[in-house]
Amino acid sequence: MYAQLVDTGTKRLKTLEEMSPEEREFQEKVDAEIKIEAKNWMPDGYRKTLIRQISQHAHSEIVGMLPEGNWVTRAPTLKRKLQLMAKIQDEAGHGLYLYSAMETLGADRDEEIQKLHDGKAKYSSIFNYPTLNWADMGAVGWLVDGAAIVNQVVLQRTSYGPYSRAMVRICKEESFHQRQGYQILLDMMREGTQEQKDMVQDAINRLWWPALMMFGPHDDESPNSQQSMVWKIKRKSNDELRQMFIDQTIPQLEFLGCTAPDPDLKWNEETGHYDFGDINWKEFYDVLKGDGPCNRERLATRRKAIDEGAWVREAAVAYAAKQKQRAAA
């Protein structure tokens, strides 16, 4: 999931009786699964929540290029290099696409990016972890894109039309990335040397828990979930999504011949789901607050790119203005 702890600005849900006629009409539409479009009336809180969520999602796509950029210059074969480059290109495309969806809500891309750089907006916690060996490129594709897909497949049914349609398109590409990531790991496990197999297990050990944290806090610790669910921005709870992810991932993990760094992980015959150990929530909140391994570096890199690129963007604007003037003359 690329959006975590998105603030809805509401303390308590309103009943239909408490709503204004406009609000009630809006809620009835949402309840009837009719998509809300940019020009429709919507509660202020709904608009703001969506802007926060979609911008967080877009920022995540862009910041998420950095841990992959860390290895794209060192990809070991032409095939793997081309695959990784294509994946990164897709992510930049997703970022652009999501920023556009966000702008349909009246938000401004530059302002939202500024909020990110000022530390007022977030991106997914996962991208604050370092990528330390080549197998991380496989594990990121498999686990991180995999976790994102579990969330995004559900978001294809989100109530806001432009966001929902963006998800349909993005999901197709993400599942491709996930399969590619898994293939990297599978090839190394099947045909690789012991050193390569060790890389794979090491990558899984480091990224396993951060991937599970992508789904956000437990449902009872997620103050905004209820409102987001009523607005159908969110369609399934954090814990439900996390469980779905674990249930689908463990057979793939076993097929690889690898293990998860969780001694409590086991199949529960009664529930029909996997049980798993406690997430280190202190680490999760530390990373969200800025105290993760790479928070400072990731933000500094993004700030530097945008700050040092200011003159480039100004040149483009100045040139366009001159061209317009010339055309008018």
Partner 1 sequence: MTEQQALQNYLLRLADSDMILGQRLCELCGKAPAVEEELALMNVALDLVGQARNWYEYAAELIDDGRDADKLCFLRDAHDYRNLLLVEQPNGDYAVTMARQFFFDVWHYFTMKSLENANDERIANIAAKAVKEATYHLRRSSEWVKRMGDGTEESHRRIQDAFDLLWRFTGELVTPDDTDHAMFKAGIGPDPEQLKKDWFGMVREVAAQATLTTGAEDAWMYMGGKKGVHTEHLGFILAEMQFLPRAYPDATTW
Which residues in this chain contact partner 1 in the complex, by CB under 8 A? 62-63, 65-66, 68-69, 72-78, 80-82, 85-86, 88-89, 92-93, 95-96, 99, 134, 184, 187-188, 191-193, 195-196, 301-302, 304-306, 308-320, 322
Q: Which of 252, 267, 156, 162 is nearest to 208 (CA)?
A: 252
User: Measured from the CB of residue 182, what is the shortest distance to partner 1 in angstroms?
Assistant: 14
Minimum CB distance to partner 1 smaller for 26 or for 136: 136
Interatomic CA distance for residues 77 and 183, integer angstroms: 14
- Which residues face 274 on adjacent strands? 267
67 versus 210: smaller Cβ distance to partner 1 = 67
Compute the distance between CA of residue 109 and CA of residue 117 in angstroms, rounded to an integer. 12
- Say how many residues make up the chain: 329
Tell me the closest approach of the beta carbon of residue 321 to partner 1, in angstroms.
9
Instruction: Write down the least CB distance from residue 222 to partner 1, Å.
Output: 30
CB of 259 to partner 1, least distance (A): 22
Nearer to partner 1, 2 or 284 (CB): 2
Instruction: Return the number of the residue (177 or 232) whose C-beta is nearest partner 1.
Output: 177
Rounded to the nearest whole angstrom, what is the least distance from the CB of residue 64 to partner 1 in the complex? 9
Pick the closer one to partner 1 by CB: 171 or 199: 199
Region of 108 (left: φ > 0; alpha: ψ -120 to 50; beta: rest) is beta
Q: Per-residue b/e over 300-328, b at no fewer than 16 CB within 10 Å? A: eebeeeeeeeeeeeeeeeeeeeeeeeeee
Residue number with CB closer to partner 1 (19 or 75): 75
Q: In this structure, what is the dihedral angle of CA atoms 305, 308, 309, 310, given to the nearest 10 degrees? A: 130
How far is it, in rounded angstroms, from Cα 295 to Cα 68? 15
CB of 317 to partner 1, least distance (A): 8
